[in-house]
Amino acid sequence: MDADAPSPHWNRPHLLGLQELSADEIGTILETAAALKRRHSEGETKLDALKGVTVGNLFFEPSTRTKTSFSLAAKRLSADTVDFTAAGSSLSKGETFIDTARNIEAMGVTLMVVRHSTSGAPHLLARNLEASVLNAGDGTHEHPTQGLLDIFTIREHAGKVAGLTVVLVGDILHSRVARSDIWGLKKLGARVIVCGPATLIPPHVEQLGVDVSYELDEVLPQADCVNLLRIQAERQRSAFFPSIYEYAHFFAMNGSRVQRAKKDVLILAPGPINRGVELTPDVADGSRSVILDQVTNGLFVRMACLMLCHQARLAARAGGGGP
């Protein structure tokens, strides 16, 4: 892979979600990330692909993994980075979201990574800025780079995605990761089962092409991968289950459930994990867990996304076109 050459299967200056991507486009990101990971392991720890470019990390919601990972990804591509956090900013003086972003853009930021509690916020910026916008999680809508790194990690460990059965467990209703996983995994030919208390399964979710189960123990033997989604207390405005104890009893991945799963089952979690709620510590730290591999892979996936969007933006400007 030539880090500086435009990709034939990628001409999008923005990465807003996996819903709008084709299987080929998802494949291009995964292949680019795999090549970057390979080069890193061969000692090429710094590339010049974004030299002279400034990446802005605009986080209007808390983050550990995504923010650090995008920041490090930008640095490994030789970009300058600037971090914006809502707390302590002039938002408190009444400045709007779009004006905030326009002012940051006016300082020369051409790649903007955005996390916001409102679904569609990155799309709003993409329509109002010249900069490329990369969605780092918008409300309950999508978290495309998390979906991509989940798929990358599954493919790395299982050797394929098509034909696998992936069970997404927990708070499907509020999970942007669930939506990105569903779009991406389905496009690449996996079977997806969503599983959780009925109150946390969105109505009509079957229309996304998934199967639904309310009994983890029933679907567990079929699972090649189990992705344990966090209970998103910050987005829940009422009680969706009687207590954490009941939730953990029926839906937590514990040692006994791992014993009853396929022997090579992969245990994923987007993090942050609530130990003892979505999964027990022995499973989180156990031999089937690929949770920290997901975090490592996120770095290469985000490098790929930054690089591809930057190249597409330059190509669109040079050609006067673009999508």
**Binding site residues, ligand CP, CB under 6 A:** 63-66, 137, 146, 270-272
Min dist CB 278 to ligand CP, Å, is 13
Cβ proximity to ligand CP: between 13 and 271 the closer is 271
Cα(254)–Cα(127) distance, rounded to whole angstroms? 45
* C-beta of residue 109 within 8 angstroms of C-beta of residue 131: yes
Determine the angle formed by the axes of helices 176-187 and 144-158, rounding to 10 degrees: 50
Cα R_g (the chain), whole angstroms: 20
CB of 270 to ligand CP, least distance (A): 4
What lies within 8 Å, CB to CB, of 167 at 6+ separation is 192, 193, 194, 195, 213, 216, 219, 220, 222, 223, 225, 226, 227
52 Rama class: left (phi>0) / alpha (psi -120 to 50) / beta: left
The H or E element spanning position 21 is none
User: Helix or strand or coil: residue 85?
Assistant: strand
Nearer to ligand CP by Cβ, of 170 and 270: the residue is: 270
- Helix and strand numbers, DSSP H then E, in the chain: 11, 9
Which residue lies nearer to ligand CP by CB, 302 or 313? 302
- Smallest gap from residue 272 Cβ to ligand CP (A): 6
Q: How far is the CB of 124 from ligand CP (least distance, A)?
A: 20
Of 322, 316, 314, 264, the residue nearest 289 (C-alpha): 264
Residue (137 or 144) nearer to ligand CP, CB: 137
> Beta strands of the chain (E only): which ranges?
54-59, 80-85, 109-116, 132-138, 165-169, 191-195, 211-213, 225-228, 266-268
Report the distance separating Cα 263 and Cα 125, nearest Å: 45
Q: What is the C-alpha separation between 230 and 171, in angstroms, rounded?
A: 7
Q: Which residue's CB is nearer to ligand CP, number 63 or number 222?
A: 63
CA atoms of 214 and 195, how far apart (whole Å): 5
Q: How far is the CB of 99 from ligand CP (least distance, A)?
A: 25
Cα 34 off chain centre by: 16
Q: Minimal CA–CA distance to 135: which of 19, 273, 8?
A: 19
Q: CB 66 → ligand CP: shortest distance, Å?
A: 3
- Closest contact distance (angstroms) between CB of 74 and ligand CP is 15
Q: Residue 215 or 285: which CB sits closer to ligand CP?
A: 285
Question: Minimum Å distance from CB 279 to ligand CP?
Answer: 15
CB of 303 to ligand CP, least distance (A): 16
